[in-house]
Amino acid sequence: MLMIPGWRAVADGKPDALSAAPIAVEAILAATDAYEGETVMIQGTVAGVERAVFPNRRPYYTLSVEDARATLTVFSWSPPSVKEGDRVEAVGVFHIWRYNIHHMIESVRITRLEKERKDRRETW
């Protein structure tokens, strides 16, 4: 069994996205060459969501996801079901440069974990 940073276990040289452990955004940004083209999982808070359109008129979406120390762009072809302030888990392939976006994850899955609490007295 092979161990890769950020992954719990790799069998037969293929990471299992379902068994992945979240990687700190700061760790990815500190070792971009090591993570280029690799499937990664991050968790953080959505700081912003934007819709844009390529010249061929195909829409896409970007989410700024921040953890305790850094922010990373998550790219999606589909409209995300999350909004600013939501805690999310994003799984996808990290790219240093793709679609004219520097340091991004091309998402495979974006999951809402919980809404960020604005007021500690608020009950859930």
Is 121 within the bounds of a domain? Answer: no
pLDDT level of residue 118 (50, 70, 90 thresholds):
low
Domain of 33: which CATH number? 2.40.50.140
Residues of the chain with pLDDT > 90, as a percent, come to 64
The kind and range of the H/E element at 28 are helix 25-30
What are 29-43's pLDDT values in tens digits? 999 999 999 999 999
User: Does residue 122 have a pLDDT over 90?
Assistant: no
User: d(Cα 103, Cα 11) in Å, to the nearest integer?
Assistant: 28
Place of tokens 């799984």: 91
Q: How many structural domains compose the chain?
A: 1
Is 4 within the bounds of a domain? Answer: no
What are 71-110's pLDDT values in tens digits? 999 999 999 999 999 999 999 999 998 777 888 999 999 9
What global pTM score does this model have? 0.75
Is 5 within the bounds of a domain? Answer: no
Helix (H/G/I), strand (E/B), else coil: 11 = strand
The domain in which residue 82 lies consists of: 10-115
Is 36 within the bounds of a domain? Answer: yes
